[in-house]
A and B are shown apart, each in its own frame.
Chain A
Amino acid sequence: MTRLPRWADLVLTPLISLVLAFGLSALVILAIGESPWLALKTMVTGALGSSYGWGYTLYYATNFVFTGLAVAVAYHAGLFNIGGEGQAAMGGLGVALVCLALPWPHWALALPAAMLGGAAFGALWALIPAWLQAKRGSHIVITTIMFNFIAAAALNYLLANVLRPTGSMDPATARFPEGTALPRLTDMAAALGLDWGKATPANVSFLVALAACGLVWLLIWRTRLGYEIRAFGKSERAARYAGISPARITVVAMLISGGLAGLMAINNVMGEAGRLVLNSVEGAGFIGIAVALMGRNHPLGILLAALLFGFLYQGGGELALFTQIPRELIVVIQALVILFTGALDNMVRMLIAPLFARRGGA
C-alpha cells in the first residue's frame, strides 16, 4: 500500500474518519425525525460550551487517557489487552482499600498511596493472563476478556458481602475519609484566583493523566525497556535473537499496562465517587481500546482521542437530557466513531492514498 505522509496518516485520516462517522450519525438522527444540527449544537454546548461542560469532558477524558495508555503499552509489545475494564475495576478495589485503611490526614499523602494501590491491583490482575500467555501460551485476548467477568463477579461479591458497611442497603464501600478527597480542578483554579464556575468531578487526576502520557512516551521511545518492548512487539524471533526474553517482556508490559488501567481508579473512585460502587468503570476500559486505536498508540494521540471521547460522553449525556433523541442513539454515535476511526481506518487510507500516490509519482 502507498505510504502516506506522516501528517496525513496522523491527522488527516482520523479527521476524515470522524467526519464520516458524524455524517452517518446525522443521517441516523434525520431518519428518526430529529434535527442533526440541533443535536450537534446540543452536544457542543453541552460538552464544550460551558466551564461546567468542560469539567465533565475532562473528567471522562481522564479515565480514557489511563485506559488508552494501558492498551497502547501492551500493543507496543504486540499484546492486545482487552482487560482494561477488569484491571480498572480491580484498581478501584486497590484504591478503596488504601483509602479506607487509614484516617488519611491530607490528600497529598493519600493520593500517592492510592496510586500505588490502584496500580498494584490493576497490575496484578493483568499479571495472571500475562503469565498464562508467557508460560502456557494461553491467548491473552481470551484470558483478559474472561478476567473482566471474573473481576466484575469478584467485586459484586466483595461489595455485597464483605466491604458493605453493616446496615447499608447499598452494595458499595463506606465513604472514604475526608482527607482522601482530591482537589477538583475548579478548586485548584480558584486557588490560583481563576473562576471556573460550577464544581465538576474533574480533579487533580487529570494532571496525573497528563504526567502519565509524558512518562509513557519516555518509556516507549527513550528507555531500554521501551526499546525491548517495541522490538518484541514487532518481531518475537528478532527479539529472541537479540537476547530479549519474550516471557519477561510479556509480563513486564502487561504489568505496566494493567497498572495504568488500575490508575484510572484515582479519578472515578477516589476523585469522583469517594467510595467504591458496583460497576464503577462504566465501560471506560473498552473505550480505551478505541482511544488507543484512534490515537495510534501514541500518548499525544491518545490524549486527543480521549478528549474527543470525553466530549462524546458528556455531549451524549446532554443530548439525552435536552432532546427527544433517545439515550441509545448516543451509543450508536459513539459506536460509529469507533467503527470509522478504529476498524475502518484502512478504508479511509485507501481512499486518500491515490491522491498522494499521484503527487509522488508525477
Chain B
Amino acid sequence: MGLTAATGDAARPATAAPPAIELRGISKAFGPVQANRDIALAVRRGTIHGIVGENGAGKSTLMSILYGFYRPDAGQILIDGREVAIRDSQAAIRAGIGMVFQHFKLVPNFTVLENVILGAEDGALLAPSLGRARRELRQLAADYQLEVDPDAVVEDLSVGHQQRVEILKALYRRADILILDEPTGVLTPPEADHLFRILRGLRDQGATVILITHKLREIMQITDAVSVMRRGEMVATVPTADTTPEALAELMVGRKVLLRVDKAPAAPGAPVMELAGLRMVDADGVERLRGIDLTVRAGEILGIAGVSGNGQSQLLQILGGYPEPGAQVTGRATLKGAALPLAGADARQRRRVGIGNIPEDRQAEGLVMDFAAWENMVFGHHRDPEYQAGAMMDNDAIRQRTARLMQRFDVRPPLSDLAARNFSGGNQQKIVCAREIEEGPALLLVGQPTRGVDIGAIEFIHRRLVEMRDAGAAILLVSVELDEILALSDRIAVMFDGRIMGERLPGATTAGELGLMMAGVGEGRAR
C-alpha cells in the first residue's frame, strides 16, 4: 500500500490512522521568490520518508516552517490529524518534532549530558535534570544503538557521535517525528550505515523519520516513501519500492539526467606534479599531513577519497599556496619538472606557474560573496596585465570577459553586475570553474566541486572537468562524495588521518573497499 501524491483528505487511506504530519496548501514567499507553493504532503506514522530536490527547490524552507523558523503565508499543518500552529521551535518541540540540522547546534565544550538537557532543564538546579537525563540516555542507547559516553566533552567526539547527541537531544525532548537535514554529508560509509540502523530502529518503535538528502542512493536504501520537490512545488510522492534513482533525478530536474559521467579511458602522459614526503604541522602543533607522496600525470584525474577532516583541505591549501597561518610545511614537490616550493609560497606564485584552484569552500574562499560576478571573474588573476589600464583596473575588459564566460559556462542569470551571493550554489560554482578552467592551468586542484550544487550543474561541471583532462591537464580531485570520486577518477587515492592509505583503480575496487580504507582499515596501517 503506497502513498499517492497526497492532496488533503482524499488520499488518506481509509483504514489507517491519520498521518503523523500532514501539510495542506503550504505557501511561503520571500519577496518575489515563491519558495514554497501550495505544498501538500502526508507522512505516515512509523515510516521513513525521504524528501529530495535540487538546491533552492524549497526543502529547507519547508522544514524551517515545520520547525517554526518561518511562518507560512498560507496553509495548514496537521500533526496526527489535529491542526497545530507552529510559531517557534518551542511549539515544534511540543508538537513532538525534533530536528537534526546539517550543522550541529551543540555547545562544543559541554559534555554530552549537558548538551542534552540544555534548554530542557527541570529547574534551577542541574543535578536532578542531569540524573534523569543520564537514566534516559542509558535506556535510549540500549533501545536504538545510540551509544555515547554521557560524560564525554562534545568537541572530543567524532562527527558521527556528535550527530548521535543531536538525535538524543531530540528524543530526550520526546520527539516522535525526527527530521534530519543531509545527515550523511559528514559521515564515513560505516558511520552512515550505523545511522541508518538507528533510524530503522526508531521507525520500528513507531517514530516517524523525515530524511532530507540529495543522495538518491540513500533514499533508495532506507526510505519507505519519497517526495520530490522542484522549484518550490511538491511534484510527486511515491513509494520508494516503485521508483528508481533515474526516475527521481528526472523528477527533480524536470528532464532526463545522466547520472553517470560519460568519459573515454584516460591517456595519461608525463607526470605534471610529483609530491614527496609532504608533512604539515599546524599552529597547535598537531601533525595534519604525515608524509604524502602523490604523482599526477597529464591527462588524468587523480581522485582523493576520504572523510572530510583527514588532511585533504590542508593538502589543497598547501598546493594552492595558502597554508593555514602558523603551519609548518615540509616536503618536496616538482611541477613540470621544476621545483615547486611547498613552504613560504603564496597563491600568486602558484597561479603564475600554472596551478588552477577550484577551492573546497567557494563561499568562503573561491568567491567574495559581496563582489559582483565580474569582480569575481578575475579574482586571484586580477594582477594579470590584460586587466590593467595604467594605474587603474581595466573594468571594461573584465566585464567583457565575464559576459563571454558567463555565456560559455551557462551561468544563470547572465548578469555580470549581480553579487555572487545572489546566484544559486550551482551558478556560483560555475563562476569559479569558468575562472579557473579558462586560465588553462597545467594542474587543476579541485575540491568538492559539486557540494551544494544541483544535479543539472553537477552534470555540466563534471563534463567540463573531463574535457579538461582530455585536453591534457592534470587534475587533482578531492571529494567526500564517493560516488563522485568513482565516477570521475582515473585513479583513486584514499586519505585517512593525514596519510595516503593506498591507491586503487576505479574499475578494480568497490565502494565497500574504499569505505574501509577511508575508515583507516587497510594497507597503510600495519594489520
Q: Which of B365, B391, B395 sits near A241, CB closer than 8 Å? A: B365
Residue A227 CB within 8 A of the other chain: yes
- A/B pair count, beta carbons within 8 Å: 70
Interface window among B169-177, B186-194, B264-272, B379-387: B379-387
Query: What string of 1s and 0s marks CB contacts (under 8 Å) between A234-245 and chain B?
Result: 110110111101
Please determine whether A241 and B382 come into contact, CB atoms closer than 8 angstroms.
no
Please determine whether A231 and B379 come into contact, CB atoms closer than 8 angstroms.
yes
Tell me, in angstroms, the Cα distance from A23 to B56 when the chains sit together: 44
Task: Find the B residue at minimum CB distance from A235.
Answer: B368
Asked whether A224 and B320 contact (CB < 8 A) given A231-B368, A238-B366, A361-B31, the answer is no
Please determine whether A227 and B393 come into contact, CB atoms closer than 8 angstroms.
yes
Please determine whether B351 and A238 come into contact, CB atoms closer than 8 angstroms.
no
Please determine whether B32 and A237 come into contact, CB atoms closer than 8 angstroms.
no
Residue B392 CB within 8 A of the other chain: yes
Asked whether A242 and B371 contact (CB < 8 A) given A224-B388, A360-B31, A361-B29, the answer is no
The distance from the CB of A355 to the nearest CB of chain B, in whole angstroms, is 13
Asked whether A360 and B388 contact (CB < 8 A) given A227-B375, A227-B393, A240-B347, the answer is no
Residue B367 CB within 8 A of the other chain: yes
Task: Find the A residue at minimum CB distance from B359.
Answer: A241
Asked whether A238 and B31 contact (CB < 8 A) given A224-B388, A243-B347, the answer is no
Asked whether A243 and B392 contact (CB < 8 A) given A238-B367, A360-B31, the answer is no
Task: Tell me the interface secondary structure of chain A in the complex.
Answer: helix
Please determine whether B32 and A360 come into contact, CB atoms closer than 8 angstroms.
yes
Tell me, in angstroms, the Cα distance from A182 to B13 when the chains sit together: 91
Please determine whether A243 and B346 come into contact, CB atoms closer than 8 angstroms.
yes
Asked whether A234 and B370 contact (CB < 8 A) given A240-B322, A242-B382, A243-B321, the answer is yes
Please determine whether B351 and A223 come into contact, CB atoms closer than 8 angstroms.
no
Cβ of B365: which chain A residues have Cβ within 8 Å of it? 235, 237-238, 240-241
The distance from the CB of B88 to the nearest CB of chain A, in whole angstroms, is 19
Please determine whether A238 and B364 come into contact, CB atoms closer than 8 angstroms.
yes
Task: Find the A residue at minimum CB distance from B345.
Answer: A243
Interface residues of A in 232-284 (CB under 8 A from B): 234-235, 237-238, 240-243, 245
Please determine whether B347 and A222 come into contact, CB atoms closer than 8 angstroms.
no
The distance from the CB of A157 to the nearest CB of chain B, in whole angstroms, is 38
Please determine whether A2 and B31 come into contact, CB atoms closer than 8 angstroms.
yes
Please determine whether A361 and B347 come into contact, CB atoms closer than 8 angstroms.
no
Residue in A2, A3, A224 with the greatest tally of chain B CB atoms within 10 Å? A224
Query: What string of 1s and 0s marks CB contacts (under 8 Å) between B355-372 and chain A?
Result: 001010100111111110
Cβ of A234: which chain B residues have Cβ within 8 Å of it? 368-371
Residue B260 CB within 8 A of the other chain: no
Asked whether A243 and B380 contact (CB < 8 A) given A223-B392, A224-B388, A361-B31, the answer is yes
Chain A: how many interface residues by the 8 Å CB criterion? 22
The distance from the CB of A188 to the nearest CB of chain B, in whole angstroms, is 30
The distance from the CB of A225 to the nearest CB of chain B, in whole angstroms, is 10
Cβ of B393: which chain A residues have Cβ within 8 Å of it? 222-224, 227
Residue B348 CB within 8 A of the other chain: yes
The distance from the CB of B61 to the nearest CB of chain A, in whole angstroms, is 15
Asked whether A241 and B31 contact (CB < 8 A) given A222-B393, A222-B395, A224-B393, the answer is no
Residue A357 CB within 8 A of the other chain: yes
Cβ of A237: which chain B residues have Cβ within 8 Å of it? 361, 364-365
Asked whether A238 and B379 contact (CB < 8 A) given A223-B391, A360-B32, the answer is yes
The distance from the CB of B282 to the nearest CB of chain A, in whole angstroms, is 15
Tell me, in angstroms, the Cα distance from A360 to B30 when the chains sit together: 9
Residue A218 CB within 8 A of the other chain: yes
Query: What string of 1s and 0s marks CB contacts (under 8 Å) between A13-42 and chain B?
Result: 000000000000000000000000000000
Interface residues of A in 214-231 (CB under 8 A from B): 218, 222-224, 227-228, 230-231
Q: Which of A222, A224, A245 sits near B346, CB closer than 8 Å? A: A245
Task: Find the B residue at minimum CB distance from A228.
Answer: B382
Tell me, in angstroms, the Cα distance from A218 to B393 when the chains sit together: 10
Asked whether A235 and B369 contact (CB < 8 A) given A222-B392, A227-B382, A361-B32, the answer is yes
Please determine whether A218 and B351 come into contact, CB atoms closer than 8 angstroms.
no
Task: Find the B residue at minimum CB distance from A242.
Answer: B380
Cβ of A360: which chain B residues have Cβ within 8 Å of it? 31-32
Tell me, in angstroms, the Cα distance from A64 to B411 when the chains sit together: 44
Tell me, in angstroms, the Cα distance from A333 to B383 when the chains sit together: 47
Please determine whether A241 and B357 come into contact, CB atoms closer than 8 angstroms.
yes
Please determine whether A231 and B371 come into contact, CB atoms closer than 8 angstroms.
yes
Please determine whether A224 and B364 come into contact, CB atoms closer than 8 angstroms.
no
Cβ of B349: which chain A residues have Cβ within 8 Å of it? 243
Cβ of B350: which chain A residues have Cβ within 8 Å of it? 243
The distance from the CB of B376 to the nearest CB of chain A, in whole angstroms, is 9
The distance from the CB of A57 to the nearest CB of chain B, in whole angstroms, is 34
Please determine whether A241 and B388 come into contact, CB atoms closer than 8 angstroms.
no
Cβ of B32: which chain A residues have Cβ within 8 Å of it? 360-361
Cβ of A223: which chain B residues have Cβ within 8 Å of it? 391-393
Cβ of A241: which chain B residues have Cβ within 8 Å of it? 320, 322, 347, 357, 359, 365-366, 380
Cβ of B322: which chain A residues have Cβ within 8 Å of it? 240-241, 243
Task: Pick the 9 closest A-B CB pairs, nearest first.
Answer: A243-B347, A243-B348, A242-B380, A241-B365, A240-B322, A222-B392, A360-B31, A234-B368, A237-B364
- Since A223-B392, A241-B380 are in contact, a sample of 15 more A-B pairs with Cβ atoms closer than 8 Å, ordered by chain A residue number, is A222-B393, A222-B395, A224-B388, A227-B393, A231-B371, A234-B370, A235-B368, A237-B364, A238-B364, A238-B365, A241-B357, A241-B365, A243-B347, A243-B348, A361-B32
What is the interface of chain A, defined by CB distance below 8 A to chain B? 2-3, 218, 222-224, 227-228, 230-231, 234-235, 237-238, 240-243, 245, 357, 360-361
Question: 9 pairs across A/B with beta carbons < 8 Å?
Answer: A227-B382, A230-B371, A238-B366, A238-B379, A240-B347, A243-B322, A243-B346, A243-B380, A357-B31
What is the interface of chain B, defined by CB distance below 8 A to chain A? 29, 31-32, 320-322, 346-351, 357, 359, 361, 364-371, 375, 379-380, 382-383, 388, 391-393, 395
